[in-house]
Structure 1
Amino acid sequence: MLECSMSVSGLCDLCDRPDVDHGCDRCGRLVCDRHWDETTGLCVECSVEAGKPGERTDPENLPDGVDTYRF
């Protein structure tokens, strides 16, 4: 059986450093350790946009929105 291992090579998409070790699971950027968030598996930019897992609001607790009208 053949084993396939994926290696990441190239420059960091955020700082152009040649030490690329990670690929962002959200946007696909190749990033170095400096721009990688180990806890989320995302680059630092996507990690900030996505927020921390404990900060997310449960959809059941959100307002109904514009599709609910009362007259």
Structure 2
Amino acid sequence: MSVSGLCNICENADVEHGCDRCGKLVCDRHWDETTGLCTECSAETGGGRGKSDEPANPDDMPDGVDTYEF
């Protein structure tokens, strides 16, 4: 993508990419190439790790660990 201007996150570097989720124009420093998202959206969505940080198999959790979320 050919874009010009300042990064919408750091406002310093020339933009190179556009976020596929929020549309922000961002520099290489604030771009996650693996997800196609800006670093802010990548952090909000889990950075491509899926929807949950919990192990797929409950038996993989250490003893004495609860699964409660507050």
Question: Residue in 1 aligned with 2:61?
Answer: none
Structure with bigger gyration radius: 1
Pairwise CA RMSD of aligned residues? 1.5
CA separation of 1:18 and 1:52: change in aligned 2, threshold 3 A: closer
Unaligned runs of 5+ in 2: 53-70
Question: 5+ residue gaps in structure 1?
Answer: 1-5, 58-71
In proportion to residue count, which structure has more strand?
1
One-letter code of the match for 2:30? Answer: H
Aligned to 2:31: 36
Determine which structure has the larger helix proportion and give its number. 1
- Deviation, 1:40, is 0.4
CA contact (8 A) 2:42 2:48 kept: no
Please state how far the C-alpha of 1:52 moved relative to its aligned partner.
3.3
How many residue pairs get aligned? The number is 52
1:9 aligns with 2:4: yes
Percent of aligned positions that are identical: 69
* TM-score under structure 2 length normalisation: 0.65
